[in-house]
């Protein structure tokens, strides 16, 4: 009995350690992505400066604010002693923060290479593939009763997305050393090719915090698809800074009927950004999607 209990405790401990390790690895991934798009942190955004501000706050609280608030009407020696301790602690913390800032200022700050971004993106895309399968199975009964989604050919297509749920993490672009443009927020379309139907999962993903939002699933018979291809559109919209902007976009369009949910479109290229940053955007997955869907519709 005791052995079983020990085994359970050991298993729970290993799970807790594994979970904590995964959380640390996720924080490192998002930190790398943040540094890739925004550059290495300076001393004002690192731990040392935060410690300095904590020391200043503690010293001011113990040396000025508390004495005015508490000792004004109470001359307790204990309260006076506590205020002195807080003031001394604040000064020590302040000195520790200054020392940390000095060390951080001497550290070499290298930009994050394209390779690291691409590895993290591949990791996230694998996770989104698993999410898409799960939600399609849950939402479409045919995938439970008639077809096995695990046996289907699938394709992931993504494109830059300006709108996200978190206004503090807007779309950011980066021109890589290879001349390719990379973006922090994107729309995702996961396409699963069944025998007679195309199954689609869409969502919006933010690389900087690793979250997927606004998931939707669709079932579209091939014989109902009237058009699949690219359209160039000029779109006037309002960005997250509440400014009116005009965008020249290349859209991937799938038209499967007259209903509002029967027409899907997703940005795959922003011509303005391509021109301004003098880079290229890889649309090979979107082009492959058009070819594959076209072949399926012609057979059906």
pLDDT tens-digit map of 226-240: 999 999 999 887 766
Q: Which two tokens stand for residue 32?
A: 């790398």
Mean pLDDT of the chain, nearest integer: 84
Would you state the pLDDT for residue 49?
A: 60
Q: In terms of pLDDT, which residue wins out, 69 or 32?
A: 32
Q: In terms of pLDDT, which residue wins out, 170 or 182?
A: 182
| CA-closest candidate to residue 169, choices 128, 131, 202, 210 | 210
Q: Average pLDDT in the 200-218 region?
A: 94
| CA-closest candidate to residue 160, choices 148, 176, 173 | 173
Residue 221: pLDDT band by 50, 70, 90 thresholds? very high
Residue 70: pLDDT band by 50, 70, 90 thresholds? low
Is 4 a residue whose pLDDT tops 70? Answer: no
Would you state the pLDDT for residue 293?
A: 95
Q: Average pLDDT in the 21-31 region?
A: 85
Cα–Cα–Cα angle for 76, 80, 86, rounded to 5 degrees: 145
Q: Average pLDDT in the 283-298 region?
A: 94
């Amino acid at each position: 009995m005791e052995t079983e209990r020990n085994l359970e405790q050991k298993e729970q401990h290993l799970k807790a350690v594994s979970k904590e390790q995964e959380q640390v690895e996720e924080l490192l991934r998002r930190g790398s992505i943040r540094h890739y798009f925004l550059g290495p942190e300076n001393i004002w955004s690192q731990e040392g400066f935060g410690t300095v501000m904590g020391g200043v706050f503690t010293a001011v609280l113990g040396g000025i604010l508390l004495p005015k608030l508490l000792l004004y009407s109470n001359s307790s020696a204990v309260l006076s002693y506590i205020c002195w301790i807080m003031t001394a602690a604040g000064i020590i913390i302040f000195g520790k923060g200054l020392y940390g800032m000095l060390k951080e200022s001497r550290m070499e700050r290298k930009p994050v290479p394209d390779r690291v971004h691409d590895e993290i993106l591949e990791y996230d895309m694998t996770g989104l593939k698993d999410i898409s399968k799960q939600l399609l199975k849950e939402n479409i009964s045919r995938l439970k009763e008639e077809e096995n989604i695990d046996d289907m050919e699938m394709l992931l297509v993504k494109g830059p997305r300006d709108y996200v749920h978190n206004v503090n993490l807007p779309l950011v672009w980066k021109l890589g050393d290879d001349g390719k443009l990379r973006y922090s927020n994107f729309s995702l379309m996961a396409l699963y090719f069944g025998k007679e139907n195309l199954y689609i999962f869409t969502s919006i993903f933010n690389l900087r915090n690793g979250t997927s939002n606004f998931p939707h699933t669709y079932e579209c018979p091939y014989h109902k698809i009237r058009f699949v291809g690219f359209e160039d559109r000029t779109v006037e919209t309002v960005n997250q800074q509440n400014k009116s902007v005009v965008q020249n976009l290349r859209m991937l369009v799938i038209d499967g009927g007259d209903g509002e949910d029967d027409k899907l479109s997703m940005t795959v290229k922003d011509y303005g950004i391509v021109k301004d940053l003098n880079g290229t955007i890889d649309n090979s997955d979107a082009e492959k999607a058009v070819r594959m869907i076209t072949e399926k519709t012609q057979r059906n």
